[in-house]
A and B are shown apart, each in its own frame.
Chain A
């Protein structure tokens, strides 16, 4: 019995060390080393690449990344101004730039980074009270064209039935559309996926966050 206890204790200690070792290997500096080398200050959000059937999603989702990037400490070009420029300069289709040269954005806007997003899923299943978004985030250097950050997130939020009667919940949903909108889920997805991004010049932990642990490249989360 004593031996068994000892064995169990050893197992727990080993598991603890293994988990620590794994966490240690995945840090911001190990995953995104060139962000620390390049020290980018500013970022421009490119119009999203929309792979869903909802045409309007591109415009609705676009500005939702602004706040999270600014809170990360970057200078973010105003989405309204940038979008106006993209439309007037026929740069509205990011498909044309996602693999091409980004020098124009460096020379015309002065951006160090360009954030591309690919919206793969943007769904609301009303009967199941379920919203799912699937978005890929790619940050490229406008200086070298290199991909400095690439993560993908699928987030599903299910609203638990509060009354137990789904028709009543549906009616309540219609009344509170603004709050239960897909954009709320998309914003959460932005926050979760972009939280691993090293902090920018205005962040409190700028150049001090190299050893912060990061998550997997692909995230699949289901929240209630």
Chain B
């Protein structure tokens, strides 16, 4: 009887571990999806400000498995910074995207070149 209880406890712990492992995300997204959706629906200073705050949070609080900023986030943040006439910081973010994700070099590198002309 004692052994049976022990087996059940071990099974429960194992199941708990497996479910935790499979549910963990590669990246931390915080409220990015909602902020991005609301901004797409209605582009105002308020929705833009919320989205900018999301990028800052995502960049500085990565608790996902990879502990890295998700692909495209630096580039997207840069896009909005450039739209807000902050070209200098925008280029810095674009370079971070290429540094972290070399696959983006062809596309993002071309944008950097155009901005630096």
Contacts and interface: CB of A to CB of B under 8 A. Distances in A.
B30 to A, nearest CB: 11
Contacts of A202: 26, 66, 71
Contact of A71 (B26, B36, B37, B108): B26
Contacts of A71: 25-27
A64 B25 contact: no
Contact of A75 (B66, B71, B110): B71
A63 B80 contact: no
Interface stretch (A7-15, A76-84, A143-151): A76-84
Contacts of A219: none
B91 interface: no
Interface string A54-66: 0000011011101
B106 interface: yes
Nearest to A199: B26
Interface residues of B, number: 31
Contact of A67 (B33, B65, B104, B110): B33
- By size class, the interface of chain A is 20 to 34
A135 B59 CA distance: 32
A103 interface: no
B79 A80 contact: yes
A85 B37 CA distance: 19
A202 B25 CA distance: 12
Interface string B12-50: 000000000000011101001110111011000000000
Nearest to B73: A78
Interface in A61-113: 62-64, 66-67, 70-71, 73-81, 84-85, 108-110
A27 interface: no
A80 B107 contact: no
B101 to A, nearest CB: 5
A204 interface: yes
A110 B101 CA distance: 12
Contact of A80 (B70, B71, B80): B80
A178 B76 contact: no
Contacts of B29: 67
A42 B104 CA distance: 8
Interface of B: 25-27, 29, 32-34, 36-38, 40-41, 65-66, 70-73, 75-76, 79-80, 101, 103-108, 110-111
30 contacts: A42-B103, A59-B40, A60-B37, A63-B36, A63-B37, A63-B40, A64-B33, A64-B37, A66-B72, A67-B29, A67-B70, A70-B70, A70-B71, A71-B25, A75-B101, A77-B104, A77-B107, A78-B72, A81-B107, A81-B108, A84-B79, A85-B107, A108-B106, A108-B110, A110-B105, A110-B106, A110-B107, A178-B34, A178-B38, A203-B26
